[in-house]
A and B are shown apart, each in its own frame.
Chain A
Amino acid sequence: MKFFSKLTLKNKIFVSCLGFTLIVSVLIALFTRALLIGSLTGELKQRGVGIAQGVADGSRVFILTRNRAELTALAYDARLGNRKKVVLYLLITDKTGEILAHTFTTGFPRAFAPVPVRDTEQGAGIQSMTVGPHSVFHVSVPVKEGIYTIGSVQIGLDRAHIESLIARLRLIFLSFLSVVTLIFFFLSHRLALYITRPVTSLIRYTDTLTQEDFRFPAREEMDALSQTLGKREDEIAKLTGSFMRMTGQLASSTDRLMESQKKYRSLFQSGPNPIFVIHRRSFEILDANPKAAEVFGYDREELIGTSLLALGNLDDQAFAGEYPQGRSVVISSKVTFFRKDKGALFVNVHASPAEYRDKDVIIVATTDITELVEKDSQLIQASKMTNLEKMSAGIAHEINQPLNAIKMGSEYLVMMHEQERAVAPEDLDMVLREISAQVTRASEIVGRLKSFSRKAEFSREVISINPCVTAVHKIIGRQLALQGMALVLDLDEAIPFILAHNNRMEQVIFNLATNARDAINERIETIGDIQNGRIRITTFTDRGMVGLRVEDNGTGIPPEQADAIFDSFFTTKEMGEGLGLGLPIVQGIVRDYNGTVSVDTTPGRGAAFEIFFPAHDPEQEVTHP
């Protein structure tokens, strides 16, 4: 079996066909031989019995008369013609077994004893025996007269005759089988070739393809293949067709693969964003695109081998998260990275895991958002300035108050001096103190405005939210009071610190408070509900988060607008009154500090904006300085 499995397909087919043919031939030969020999022998015996019977019928009278001459003539007659070949000898006995006639011409063979006549009913008896050199079937047939057996006719049938007949038949048969086998040999060879030749071509074609390139089909081999196949339409042809189609598909998908590789390579090489290939565990940079080198000011060679973490304020925990299949994950946004010349950049970091030269890597795409961050802060600044501008009348009023006292006080002194009138010491004291106090007050207002309008630094500070609320209260509390609105503060004195900027937080609170004011004014103007406006700013701690709530009893937000209020340029105010940037900026600032903002509102009853920031953990500061 092992030998067989080692054979080529062609030889397998050949050997199988041939073996099968041989086995069938041998089986047929054996079967025929058994059948032929049996039936031929039977036939011969029948014929022998028939001849003996005929002789017995003719010899009845002569046996009774014991006419030996007639009997001998009869015996010889029986061997006439072609019977001579079959009937080797014939002898006639009487009932005692005495031979009355026989055909032995060369003397009665020795050791030949005529079979005694058995007075039986069954007729002929046949036994196999050897007479001289001959092997015979000895047939004895009783001769009957009435019910009495009067003698017997015994003949020897020559088995050599049958044997020669069988031998001849066997020869014919064997030659026939040989011819059949030869034909089968030839046919199976052809068949094997027929089946295996295209397969061999196919193998050669495949080998060539594999050795060379899928994309350039081996023309020569393909021609050879189609020639081999000719106009065949059988399974082999179909297999070959399928195979050709498959290689065609393979070639085109290889093409596509190359194309996409090329595409990705060119994306990597000429992409507008810095891309790094880093080792998944060591964060070592394995490859970086030219843009990365350009943006970060390093040579590509300098970048390769260094850790990505050394380039910016990233920690290894950032990459520890889950990566959904085939998706890129935002690792961190607005991360500070440093150029070679120590210049700071702000980047968004995206990562997706990949295989790269058999290594587990992360493809890190960074987007330089420095300009965006700057634009952002400019926008925030601009919006703040717009707010200040809108408040300018209120601010002027506010500053006017101390100025008025100072002006009147000083003018009073001037007047008294001009008229040379004495100023009572307590009046003088009061005026001078008041002037000084009012100057302080005015400069405080100016200082507050200055700090409010100052552009925020990029690095965050550890701040408490409460002073921001009080600062906003100082800026607009009085103006709200002048409009008949109460600004109520409810501050949690034990509130944790957060990482943010004071004046941006002030801006958030300010925006929310002025929105609340507008909502109250709108309620009074449109609904005609003139109950007093109330704005309540609460700070609180909730499950480790620092919360800030700004509630008003203004007009509220219709449900269909609740989703849109954080969209840029969405405004319900009249043209020219609001840009629709207030809440988007609030949201932008809050998200910058990893916070969330949400609104809960009942139309006609008011709205409550809630902001949550993660509390600043001083421990973290120690572990990640």
Chain B
Amino acid sequence: MKILVIDDEKPTLSMFRLFLSAYGYEVHTAENGEQGLAVFRECRPDIVFTDIRMPGMDGLEVLRRIRNHDAGCQVVIITGHGDMARALDALDLDASDFINKPVERQALNAALVRAEKRAGRTSAPAFSMEAENLGDTVGFRCSGKLSGTEEHALAGAGDSVAPGSSVRLSVDDDFSIDRQGLNRLTEFLRAMNEKGCNTSITGLSYNYLRFFEMAGIDKLARLEAAPAEEPGT
């Protein structure tokens, strides 16, 4: 599998190269957005890691242009720690995943595993929310991209929950979210809290978990990560 890493920091590129080579990927690197796009057109990588803050063309612009060319490429945005606003911008541009700097091995692994699983899909599947009977707990299986237009699904699910019950949302690898979707989810979780429901979200990828924590979702629901997997071929 081919991976392209775009970052203006040479040391970071070197480390990515070491890591990803050790995982057995074919690694390409670029020091800025323009160069990155050139490499992208040349070698068509399956996964792109791009720093979000770069002089000249930044990560968001790279993401936008890659999306124009190739909807199926997995673009993982490398964000600064706590840079929520940019992370949301990236989600709106349909970033596949994001990873915090300084990059932890576990985060990198999770991003790689998720990207590999989703690799090749041209477009995100529509959001679906299926009820699941888990005894005492009301369960919902969530998949696809949760955006602002999906409020009916969430609202409907919310209405069906009896006050005081336990609610568990389990998400899969296809789950993704954008800015509006995050708002909807927050509203849903608030409504659950008002009903006195005990809510948890499970199956979150490592980086989504970090992102939800950053967005304050952890105050509204208990977040559980999906079991860690090692990437590599």
Question: Known contacts being A407-B102, A408-B12, is A431 close to B18, with CB within 8 Å?
Answer: yes
Interface string of A400-429 (1 = CB under 8 A from B): 111111111101101110000100000100
Whether a CB of chain A sits under 8 angstroms from the CB of B53 is yes
Bound: A86/B56 CA distance, A: 156
Contact check, A434 vs B56: say whether CB atoms are below 8 A apart. Answer: no
Contact check, A397 vs B14: say whether CB atoms are below 8 A apart. Answer: no
Closest-CB distance, A423 to chain B (whole angstroms): 9
User: What number of A-B contacts does a CB cutoff of 8 Å give?
Assistant: 77
Whether a CB of chain B sits under 8 angstroms from the CB of A385 is no
How many residues in B have their beta carbons less than 8 Å from beta carbons of A? 23
For A396, what are the chain B residues with a Cβ–Cβ distance below 8 Å?
80-82
Bound: A430/B80 CA distance, A: 25
Whether a CB of chain B sits under 8 angstroms from the CB of A271 is no
How many residues in A have their beta carbons less than 8 Å from beta carbons of B? 29
For B22, what are the chain A residues with a Cβ–Cβ distance below 8 Å?
412, 415-416, 421
Contact check, A401 vs B15: say whether CB atoms are below 8 A apart. Answer: no
Whether a CB of chain B sits under 8 angstroms from the CB of A318 is no
**Which residue of A393, A411, A421, A431 contacts B80 across the interface (Cβ within 8 Å)?**
A393
Residue of B nearest to A424 (CB): B18
For A481, what are the chain B residues with a Cβ–Cβ distance below 8 Å?
55
**Which residue of B11, B16, B58 contacts A402 across the interface (Cβ within 8 Å)?**
B11
Whether a CB of chain A sits under 8 angstroms from the CB of B42 is no
Contact check, B80 vs A409: say whether CB atoms are below 8 A apart. Answer: no
Contact check, B102 vs A403: say whether CB atoms are below 8 A apart. Answer: yes
Contact check, A408 vs B16: say whether CB atoms are below 8 A apart. Answer: yes
Closest-CB distance, B162 to chain A (whole angstroms): 44
Interface string of B150-186 (1 = CB under 8 A from A): 0000000000000000000000000000000000000
Whether a CB of chain A sits under 8 angstroms from the CB of B83 is yes
Whether a CB of chain B sits under 8 angstroms from the CB of A437 is yes
Whether a CB of chain B sits under 8 angstroms from the CB of A484 is yes
Whether a CB of chain B sits under 8 angstroms from the CB of A269 is no
Interface string of B54-94 (1 = CB under 8 A from A): 11101000000000000000000000111100000000000
**Which residue of B9, B53, B58, B80 contacts A405 across the interface (Cβ within 8 Å)?**
B9
Q: Which among A403, A407, A431 has the highest number of chain B CB atoms within 10 Å?
A: A407
Contact check, B55 vs A484: say whether CB atoms are below 8 A apart. Answer: yes
For A393, what are the chain B residues with a Cβ–Cβ distance below 8 Å?
80, 83
For B54, what are the chain A residues with a Cβ–Cβ distance below 8 Å?
482
Bound: A408/B109 CA distance, A: 12
Closest-CB distance, A422 to chain B (whole angstroms): 11
Bound: A408/B15 CA distance, A: 6
Contact check, A437 vs B11: say whether CB atoms are below 8 A apart. Answer: yes
Given known contacts A404-B12, A416-B22, A482-B58, what 4 new A-B pairs fall within 8 Å (CB)?
A: A393-B80, A403-B102, A412-B15, A438-B11
User: What are 30 pairs between A and B in contact, CB < 8 Å?
Assistant: A396-B81, A400-B80, A400-B81, A401-B9, A401-B12, A403-B101, A404-B12, A404-B101, A404-B102, A405-B11, A405-B14, A407-B104, A408-B12, A408-B15, A408-B16, A408-B103, A411-B103, A411-B105, A412-B19, A415-B105, A416-B22, A430-B14, A431-B15, A434-B15, A437-B11, A438-B11, A478-B55, A482-B55, A482-B58, A484-B55
- Residues in chain B within 8 A of chain A (CB atoms): 9, 11-12, 14-16, 18-19, 22, 53-56, 58, 80-83, 101-105
What 4 A-B pairs are tightest by C-beta distance, nearest first?
Answer: A408-B15, A405-B11, A407-B102, A481-B55
